[in-house]
Structure 1
């Protein structure tokens, strides 16, 4: 599976919203166009990779890998609704729910079980603060400060020729010039590219599960808590080696036309509650572990979150609703697996 999809599945909704909002200056008309972008990646850019390069695989290779994982995922089934897990002690109940950060606005995903458990909660726990003004300012500050060069370098001068060629071809379908992205580091350019494509195909950060939960929680007067900071999330990307960032941008560029299809497939698995299938597509160390990406996006963060979730049992009386990216609750290193390995009895798949 391409690096690009693991990055798309790893960002929180507010990060997507902030990144999409910082569309390159002078390109607002293209970014806001109602016409779907058409990006031809079947031939051309992917063929520019150096012969024998392990860094730059072709689109056909990347999508064959995804389709193989998809075939395995579709061979398993859930119970027909998004999964919810529950752990408890004598005075605290913790519900754990997987989210999708960008959704199609017309998708109906709520169930009676979800509504009952969410409404019962006094505290909503999210990955990071998307609620307060301070939290939103931190997202803008930390993502933008880490995602832009700021030292005179430009993206078009820093990228290897095969990556630049692929990026130019992808941008041509969105009617955007590379120069508009020149202040950005490769990871920031890749995330913006993915978000612009998904938005042009009908996905909306405002329809992401977190945004909906925040609005409902505020209306109900719930309290909020957060598992990490915007600086934590931004550092995951910014601290990747430059060649890894370049490879990420390359794979994002040559598979851009497939981005919405792959996310649709993941949403289908999530909506069915097929945790095993979701793990195959999103949190799979065999297809997403190159260059430490899988460890950085999933393993390390899951390990950091588990003690905090345990702490809710000790420190909170009442009901807690934890909502994190669905990929963190699937696969061999999931939050659920880590909690069960520590001896907790958890209801759910």
Structure 2
């Protein structure tokens, strides 16, 4: 399960700020990146598909020489490069919505967690939004990396909210006999620091080892691209919520409910074979699987403005935890975005596309409040 090596106060603070970001794939629910890539390759791009089909056809139809040996037709390096480049040869149109009244305009941009450099994403609509915006809002408050004092204070505040000395021992939070079944997957140093952690944080730690030490905003790479694009302008860069808001939200959940979620999730995790769990836990491939990696396919789908694939169904317990976060965000974010129309000017909002699709999404929350959203071309 969880294999942390060293948990310093600063690391715990960063960990919590990253762990509360919803929709980090749980171990028992997520597909392997290889499986996703294989499923995705066929519809990545027409040009790449056509090229790959020719090559695969040649590979699958070996010819015999006079001596009876089978000769495999191999794709040349130039052909591989041409097929790969053809995948990215399209006009980008990532999803962007517009709300407006007489004196104010709001653009809502569907972000993505990461994408490859070859992917083009600046459509004409995005360029217009960037050039006209006088305010930019990310999911959480943006802190300039050079402002170390502010970042340090933020991490310190998060740590103070997380660590308390009056919490029950980790093993006492599990139902009778359940801890004995799982403790072999937990390192001893986890028990020591875990005693001081809130129960909801234990759930996120047990659920996700690959990403738990990668704190940051959902769309960190895209956020950087956008803030870098407007760095020469005097813009207000803010967030829809404070970084510590989710810590406060989750800390306020009744402890009995938190333990119910922890035990439900643990039981579900114990039904997964370890070999499968570790396969699911593997990071996505950075080498190419077929024409594309899973991340490249997801990035192309996003850049073309197509709806994302449905996220995997989360395990009980973890699902309840993340749904609690989503409900809060849909309520608070929609209220804050609606209030922006009371101010003059143009605002650009970047949130993960996960919040703009599926059940109880941000678009429907705004429409229920009477706001009209227009999808930009």
The TM-score normalised by the length of structure 1 is 0.61
Partner of 1:5: none
Change (3 A) 1:268 1:98: same
Partner of 2:15: 19
Change (3 A) 1:261 1:251: farther
Partner of 1:306: 334
Gaps of 5+ in 2: 1-10, 20-26, 32-36, 45-90, 286-293
CA drift of 1:320 comes to 0.7
Alignment of 1:21-60 (within 5 A): 59=28
SS of structure 2 residue aligned to 1:321: strand
Alpha-carbon separation, structure 2, partners of 1:100 and 1:163: 37
Q: CA RMSD in A?
A: 4.9
Gaps of 5+ in 1: 1-14, 24-40, 42-58, 65-69
Alpha-carbon separation, structure 2, partners of 1:290 and 1:178: 19
Partner of 1:327: 354
Instruction: List per-residue Cα deviations over 1:275-330 (Å, max 9, x = no partner).
Output: 3x45x327x8x98898754542223321222222122222122x210112322211
Instruction: List per-residue Cα deviations over 1:250-287 (Å, max 9, x = no partner).
Output: 76796564255599586665445333x45x327x8x98
1:145 aligns with 2:160: yes
Alpha-carbon separation, structure 1, partners of 2:180 and 2:231: 44
Alpha-carbon separation, structure 2, partners of 1:21 and 1:127: 12
Alpha-carbon separation, structure 2, partners of 1:17 and 1:186: 15
Greater radius of gyration (CA) = 2
1:235 aligns with 2:248: yes
Contact 2:94-2:302 at 8 Å conserved across structures? yes
Partner of 1:274: 306
Moved more, 256-265 or 182-191: 256-265
Alpha-carbon separation, structure 2, partners of 1:287 and 1:199: 17
Contact 1:20-1:192 at 8 Å conserved across structures? no
1:82 aligns with 2:94: yes
SS of structure 2 residue aligned to 1:230: coil
Structure 1 or 2: larger helix share?
1
Alignment of 1:109-120 (within 5 A): 110-113=121-124, 114-120=126-132
Alpha-carbon separation, structure 2, partners of 1:163 and 1:110: 47
Contact 1:82-1:109 at 8 Å conserved across structures? no
Alpha-carbon separation, structure 1, partners of 2:168 and 2:204: 19
Alpha-carbon separation, structure 2, partners of 1:272 and 1:63: 24
